[in-house]
């Protein structure tokens, strides 16, 4: 497979709710493309349309207009579904089954051949850290363990595209690190991974690109660096800096704050940044490090949503 794993053009989906059949636009002209082997994150507040978009891509619900393809085939195409893995949010399995029993059951449903089921199930349970619990019935599993099991189920047929809805929900920090490792391994194998999550710190660590969805529309799409870049804000570690030096930089029109042995500069250009550094050197300050400052993904997410709310 080459090219794009997921392509969407002008996708619309409207629901009608209430006694008066009021239309609610769940998706409003969405267009995006996700490449093979890319880890793509979809962010948005509750009701933004994230789950609706995933259901469209899985062929569970149909759009009113637009075009969507997964693996070069129209959404809903039966052969393409066999090449997808899906971990839904809040998934449930029969509590009388064991962990290995669940994985084996879904392996058969996914078309894995009989001789491959046992070895593949055991290998996946080891990958998600459930080997010791493989023979234990699910009624004794914690929420985080059920989440790990769901990831094993989603991977059992070695999908080319993996849809994950809140994959680390209820998982402890060690488990989240292990899941990130598995997703990186899948990415290296060429798997395209599409993640919905409210844990923005996990998205920040995992995804190559991110889209922010609100009221059915994509507000911003780009790399995590694109979304968190604060422009020409810099953090300068320069040891002890005399207050007079800070005041001199400020007097030249450069906003500067000194906190915890560091200077935080907001400069209009790289030329002004270098002029500030020259002033520090002239004052005998030893500069240890100059670092561009970035917002966290959570800060950028809140800011972008706030800008949308204030837009007329």
Secondary structure class of 241 (helix, strand, coil): coil
Q: Say which residue the tokens 């599993």 belong to.
A: 141
* Per-domain boundaries in the chain: 4-226, 239-287
User: What is the predicted pLDDT for the residue at 3?
Assistant: 55
CATH number of 4-226: 3.40.50.300
Cβ contacts of residue 294 below 8 Å, gap of 6+?
225, 228, 229, 230
- Distances 166 to 1, 49, 105 between C-alpha atoms, Å: 27, 15, 23
**pLDDT value of residue 178:** 92
Q: Is the four-CA dihedral 92, 95, 96, 98 of positive or negative sign?
A: positive
- Partner residues linked to 183 by β-bridges: none
Give residue 1's pLDDT. Answer: 39
Q: What is the pLDDT along the chain (312 residues), one digit of tens a residue?
A: 345 789 999 999 888 776 666 777 788 899 999 999 999 999 999 888 898 999 999 998 888 899 999 999 999 888 888 899 999 988 999 999 999 999 999 999 999 988 999 999 999 999 999 999 999 999 999 999 999 999 999 999 999 999 999 898 888 999 899 999 999 999 999 999 999 988 888 899 999 999 999 989 999 999 988 888 777 888 888 877 888 888 888 888 888 888 877 888 888 888 888 988 998 988 888 888 888 877 888 888 898 888 877 766
Give the single-character DSSP code of 136: S
Span 181-233, pLDDT tens digits: 999 999 999 999 999 988 888 899 999 999 999 989 999 999 988 888 777 88
Which residues, other chains included, contact 185 with Cβ-Cβ below 8 Å and sequence gap of 6+? none
Res 19: pLDDT: 66
Q: Strand, helix or coil at 237?
A: strand
First to last CA, the chain: 44
Q: Are 170 and 271 in contact (CB under 8 A)?
A: no
Q: Interior CA angle at 126 toward 34 and 163, to 5°?
A: 20
Per-residue pLDDT at 46: 86
Q: Which residues contact 160 (CB under 8 A, 6 or more apart)?
A: 1, 5, 36, 71, 83, 84, 190, 191, 192
Order of strands across the sheet that contains 73-74: 22-35, 4-17, 65-70, 73-74
- What pLDDT, on a 0 to 100 scale, did the predictor assign at position 242? 85
Q: What region, left, alpha or beta, does residue 61 occupy, with left being phi > 0 and alpha being psi -120 to 50 degrees?
A: beta
Q: What is the pLDDT of residue 24?
A: 76
């Amino acid at each position: 497979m080459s090219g794009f794993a997921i392509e969407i053009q002008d996708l619309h989906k409207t629901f009608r709710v209430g006694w008066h059949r009021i239309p609610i636009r769940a998706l409003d002209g969405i267009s995006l493309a996700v490449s093979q082997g890319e880890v793509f994150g979809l962010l948005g507040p509750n009701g933004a349309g994230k789950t609706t978009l995933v259901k469209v891509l899985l062929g569970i619900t149909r759009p009113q207009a637009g075009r969507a393809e997964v693996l070069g085939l129209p959404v809903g195409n039966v052969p393409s579904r066999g090449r997808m893995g899906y971990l839904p949010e809040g998934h449930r399995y029969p509590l009388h089954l064991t962990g290995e029993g669940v994985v084996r059951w879904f392996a058969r449903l996914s078309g894995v051949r009989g001789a491959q089921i046992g070895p593949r199930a055991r290998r996946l349970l080891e990958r998600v850290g459930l080997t010791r619990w493989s023979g234990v019935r699910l009624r004794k599993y914690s929420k985080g363990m059920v989440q790990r099991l769901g990831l094993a189920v989603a991977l059992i047929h070695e999908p080319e595209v993996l849809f994950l809805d809140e994959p680390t929900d209820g998982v402890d920090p060690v488990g989240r690190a292990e899941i990130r490792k598995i997703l990186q391994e899948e990415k290296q194998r060429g798997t395209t991974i599409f993640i919905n999550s409210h844990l923005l710190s996990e998205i920040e660590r995992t995804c190559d690109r991110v889209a922010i969805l609100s009221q059915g529309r994509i507000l911003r799409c780009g790399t995590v660096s694109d979304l968190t870049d604060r422009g020409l804000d810099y953090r300068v570690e320069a040891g002890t800096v005399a207050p007079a030096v800070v005041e001199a930089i400020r007097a030249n029109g450069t906003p500067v704050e000194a906190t915890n042995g560091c200077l935080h500069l907001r400069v209009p250009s790289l030329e002004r940044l270098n002029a500030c550094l020259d002033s520090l050197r002239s004052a005998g300050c030893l500069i240890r490090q100059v670092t561009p400052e970035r917002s966290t993904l959570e800060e950028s997410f809140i800011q972008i949503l706030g800008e949308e709310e204030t837009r007329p």
